Amino acid sequence: MSHIDPDTTTDSDPDCDHLSDLRFDELAIPESVQEGIRDAGFTHCTPIQALTLPPALKGEGVAGQAHTGTGKTAAYLITAYNTLLKKAPVKLTGRDAGKPAPRCLIIAPTRELVAQIHHDAEILGAHTGLKMVVVYGGIDYDKQRTTITAGCDILVGTPGRLIDYFKQGVYTLQGIQVVILDEADRMFDLGFIKDIRYFFHHMPSYDQRQSMLFSATLDPRVMELAYEHMDIRELLAVESGRKTAAKVKQQMYHVASDEKLALLLGILKKESCERTLVFVNTRREAGWLEQRLIRADFTARALTGDVDQHKRLSYLKQFIEGEVGILIATDVASRGLHIPNVSHVINFDLPDDKEDYVHRVGRTARAGAEGMAISFCCDRYCLNLPPIQEFLNFPIPTSLPPAELFADEETVRHALGGPKGYVEREARPKGRGGERHGDRGGRASLRGSAKPSGHARGVATPAEAVSPKPRRRRTRATATTAAPAPTGDVAGAPGATEGAPKRKRRRRRGPAKATATTQPDTPKGDA
């Protein structure tokens, strides 16, 4: 395994200690690509770029591993442009002749990562004349199909949409000269591995194309795929003794589940959180937290998988431009997104996957900047902490949050919607009553009539669910065999029912048969 220790690299600029001594203009890169590199403001390679570009520019397969924010996307884009500009397109014959044939295929697990790759590629490849097409789910199905049909050199997309168009015969993979997997381990987690193998089986063999994969974490499953379908002989990794950026300050707070909102509000108000990413584990939690922060006078948006794609892109744009100060996200936003100047990352929920912690924290302290990562370890997700600590190879500073860091009672109650107690999502009564008195989508109910069980540091605790009042059964009058006893009946008199329980008459499906004690001519419904 080859590696570069970034702590030993130097640069003339003291603010660029995350760079190596290797300059881009020292590499054998075409001039049209060099112009794009200068447009992007790059002069020196990062450690992962200095490690992977020399062999990749010679046409060798590369598997690169480095923590987030170190320029992996630029490394494989520069390599792809170099290969396509130096090689002639493949001439197709047979049934593939005349079909659109992309020369480079880049596969990424999420829509946001695909959009980020496209953004970087437009800058680096602006002077190459190569055409790029981006496809992913959620928007413009027919428009994307038409764009592919018109032809392209580089095709970037998510596995689902790419395989959909391929099975329809929109394009062929026989012209592929470069294939790139970005965040391959995430594709395993999302169940895309069968689709990836399907792509490899329908493109030229590994010795006829250049293969690359990059990720912050590469486990044995990914390397097995690389050895099987890609001409990659070794893993090139940047070893720094830690899997997170060196300039990110990490802090873990042990806190009860019902205190997490008060702690989050206190941190947002008392810390200098200019641009904050808050991570949760579920879509429901993201929507609930978005409403609570908006009520607390914060500008917040929730970025989850069920949000319309146009809105997701709009939220990202507003967050990057500073119109929105807080972005609440599930792990859909923790992979591959380069959002500049994120000052704080807050793990409202500890991730279930230990590797997701690295990707979440990697949203801050990017490209040598400084950042802060704060995590809440609550009773619900505390079992996720030991695997994370073991994976990082160093202990995260852990403590109880100081009392002054919590928001005051008035702020918390205002965020929850009122001074009365509330019913948490898990404790809310089910049925029409619970939905009528509570907000939809898992939001807290504000009309709990039971007395709260107590308060912790000014936080309203969940109110006890109130059982609904039993409904009185309505019975239909029926004919009886004896007249009711008059008022004042003595014991033993005919018709007396002293102490006898009332018998419920079973509803009969057919008309009652006439008996000796009934009146056959009595109209239906009369007593």
Which has more confidence, 68 or 93? 93
Q: What is the pLDDT of residue 156?
A: 96
pLDDT above 90 (res 514): no
Report d(CA 343, CA 280) in Å as an integer. Answer: 18
Q: What is the pLDDT of residue 228?
A: 80
pLDDT above 90 (res 170): yes
Q: Does the pTM of the predicted model rise above 0.75? A: no
Instruction: Mark residue 104 as left, alpha or beta (left: phi above 0; alpha: psi -120 to 50; beta: remaining).
Output: beta
What phi, psi does 374 have (nearest 5°)? -115, 130
Domain 6-237 grouped into CATH 2.60.40.1120? no
Cβ 153 vs Cβ 102: under 8 Å: yes
- Write out pLDDT tens, residues 334-352: 565 667 788 899 999 999 9
Which has more confidence, 135 or 394? 135
Q: What is the pLDDT of residue 392?
A: 85
Do 248-407 and 6-237 fall under one CATH topology?
yes
- Write out pLDDT tens, residues 185-206: 778 777 788 888 899 999 999 8
Q: What is the pLDDT of residue 472?
A: 58
Which has more confidence, 366 or 312? 312
Cβ 61 vs Cβ 231: under 8 Å: yes
Q: Which of 108-122, 232-246, 484-498 has the lowest mean pLDDT?
A: 484-498
Q: Which of 89-93, 375-379, 404-408, 465-469 has the lowest mean pLDDT?
A: 465-469
Cβ 113 vs Cβ 335: under 8 Å: yes
Q: What is the pLDDT of residue 254?
A: 96
- Write out pLDDT tens, residues 386-423: 999 988 888 899 999 999 999 999 999 999 985 444 44
Report d(CA 433, CA 448) in Å as an integer. Answer: 11
Spatial CA neighbour of 53 closest among 23, 31, 32:
23
Q: How far is CA 192 from CA 163, 272, 487, in A?
A: 11, 40, 80
pLDDT band at 368 (very low <50, low <70, confident <90, very high): low
Q: What is the pLDDT of residue 485?
A: 47
Tokens of 323: 């119109």
Q: Which CATH class is domain 248-407?
A: alpha beta
Spatial CA neighbour of 305 closest among 330, 280, 277:
330
Which has more confidence, 262 or 228? 262
Span 429-448, mean pLDDT? 38
> What count of other Cβ atoms lies within 10 Å of the Cβ of residue 54?
15
The DSSP bridge partners found for residue 460 are: 455
* Owner of token pair 């002293």: 498
pLDDT above 60 (res 507): yes
Q: What is the pLDDT of residue 120?
A: 92
Q: Select the highest-mean-pLDDT range: 166-175, 189-198, 322-331.
A: 166-175
Q: What is the pLDDT of residue 264?
A: 96
The HSE-up count of residue 378 (CA atoms within 13 Å, CB side) is 18
Q: Select the highest-mean-pLDDT range: 154-158, 205-209, 309-313, 319-323.
A: 154-158
Q: What is the pLDDT of residue 52?
A: 93
Which has more confidence, 494 or 369? 369
Span 425-432, mean pLDDT? 39
Q: Which of 61-75, 263-277, 504-518 has the lowest mean pLDDT?
A: 504-518
Q: Select the highest-mean-pLDDT range: 226-240, 448-462, 487-501, 510-524.
A: 226-240
Q: Which of 15-19, 36-40, 73-77, 155-159 has the lowest mean pLDDT?
A: 15-19
Q: Where are the domains of the chain?
A: 6-237, 248-407
pLDDT above 80 (res 294): yes
Q: What is the pLDDT of residue 470?
A: 53
Instruction: List, in sequence order, the alpha helices (H) in 192-295.
Output: 193-201, 220-229, 260-270, 283-295
Q: Which of 8-12, 155-159, 309-313, 363-367 has the lowest mean pLDDT?
A: 8-12
Cβ 152 vs Cβ 176: under 8 Å: no
- Write out pLDDT tens, residues 36-58: 999 999 999 999 999 999 999 99
pLDDT above 50 (res 60): yes
User: What is the percent of the chain with per-residue pLDDT over 70, rounded to a whole number?
Assistant: 72
Which has more confidence, 223 or 413? 413
Q: What is the pLDDT of residue 381?
A: 94
